[in-house]
Amino acid sequence: MEVERIRYAYGNSLALEEVSLHVEQGEIFALLGPNGSGKTTLFRILTTLLPLQSGAARVAGHDLAHEPAQVRRAIGVVFQSPSLDRKLTARENLIFQGRMYGLHGGLLARRVGDVLDVVGLTQRAHELVERFSGGMQRRLEIAKALLHEPKVLLLDEPTTGLDPTARREVMEHLQKLKATRGVTSVLTTHLMEEADACDRVAILDRGRLVVVGPPDDLKRFVGQEVVLLISPRPEELRSLIAERFGILATVSQEELRIEVPIDLEGGAPRLLVQIVEAFRGLVESARLGRPTLEDVFFHFTGKRLIETQEASGELRERSAS
């Protein structure tokens, strides 16, 4: 998949600003960002639901602007909103979807059996979907998208609302598709653990592509370790640390998080000891941690992803009221 300088606006509101990226065949690729980052707009463009306004894209070798029908045949799409008929069985849902793709008879039966096996639902084929857990329903959604044997799978927030075990199962099935069929998966997400399970991550913020890379490489880029502190007066402690050590901590509720520079003498362990000794009355607990994609997002945007997500949700609620 190739995306070149895509720009998209809703009226006077710019949703995507000159976004370019490349996705390798067989890769599991995440578009990570909060609501309003542009990831859903890009998803809708790549699935041909929105027209290209500016820029170019190729999906599975087809030009998005000039060959939309070929693109649609080459992709499987899993939307965030459920599309299953809960009063039908898993097999009946797949048969109905397969007929929409023009599949019939023995070919349809083989495809249905094949995709049920891929997502681990063969033994539940004749059960009503209303009895399925959330994770099983997401796996069945993926099975529907695989019936016509697409080269590229596009998924919008595929594990939102699922428990951690179900999330892992969904990501494991995407890995299985990559290993057994070479399927390319591109997913949108605001969940760190989901993005961490991908081969590469593109971070989007306010319509801009901020950085792209493997999760571990991005985390190594921002530092080797972090110092995590709990304080009854976090803002005061933050100011004192900056004044004493020249290092800026970030505050989220009562927790301070410090990205330790790689070249800092003594590293994170020494810094932690120095802070605790200097400000005993302001430190309730202290520990060392490793950088996360949350730290990567903050490093490149100056904001915490979870706080940005919450703020955008509050804005939508106010707009709707």
Domains of the chain: 25-44+70-204 (3.40.50.300), 224-290 (3.30.70.260)
Question: What is the structure's pLDDT at 265?
Answer: 85
To the nearest 10 degrees (0 to 180), the angle between helices 293-301 and 215-222 is 60
What CA–CA distances, in Å, run from 113 to 73, 95, 100? 21, 10, 17
User: In this structure, which amino acid lies at residue 122?
Assistant: T
Structure tokens at 263: 């070249």
Q: Is the separation of the CB atoms in 136 and 121 below 8 Å?
A: yes
Helix (H/G/I), strand (E/B), else coil: 112? helix
Nearest to 297 by CA among 54, 15, 108, 33: 33
- CB within 8 Å of 233: residues ≥ 6 apart: 282
Residue 128: DSSP 8-state = B
Pick the most confident of 177-191, 239-253, 289-303. 177-191
Tell me the β-bridge partners of 189.
32
pLDDT, tens digit, 9 for 90 and up, residues 81-99: 889 999 999 999 999 999 9
Q: State residue 184 phi and psi, 5-degree precision.
A: -85, 130
Average pLDDT for 143-170: 91
Question: What is the structure's pLDDT at 308?
Answer: 57
CA angle, 179 as apex, 174 and 181 as ends, to 5°? 85
Structure tokens at 242: 């900056």
Q: Is the separation of the CB atoms in 146 and 125 below 8 Å?
A: no
Q: How many CB atoms lie within 10 A of CB 72?
A: 16
Question: What is the structure's pLDDT at 319?
Answer: 37
Average pLDDT for 45-71: 96
pLDDT, tens digit, 9 for 90 and up, residues 284-300: 999 998 888 988 898 88
Q: Is the pLDDT of residue 255 over 50?
A: yes
Residues 43, 308: Cα–Cα separation, whole Å: 20
First vs last Cα of the chain: how many Å apart?
39
Average pLDDT for 41-60: 96
Q: Which of 118-122, 178-182, 216-220, 297-301 has the lowest mean pLDDT?
A: 297-301
Question: What is the structure's pLDDT at 317?
Answer: 33
Q: Where are the alpha helices (DSSP H) in 147-292?
A: 164-181, 192-196, 215-222, 234-245, 267-278
What CA–CA distances, in Å, run from 316 to 91, 146, 158, 298? 38, 34, 21, 23
Q: How many CB atoms lie within 10 A of CB 183?
A: 23
Q: Is the separation of the CB atoms in 94 and 115 below 8 Å?
A: yes
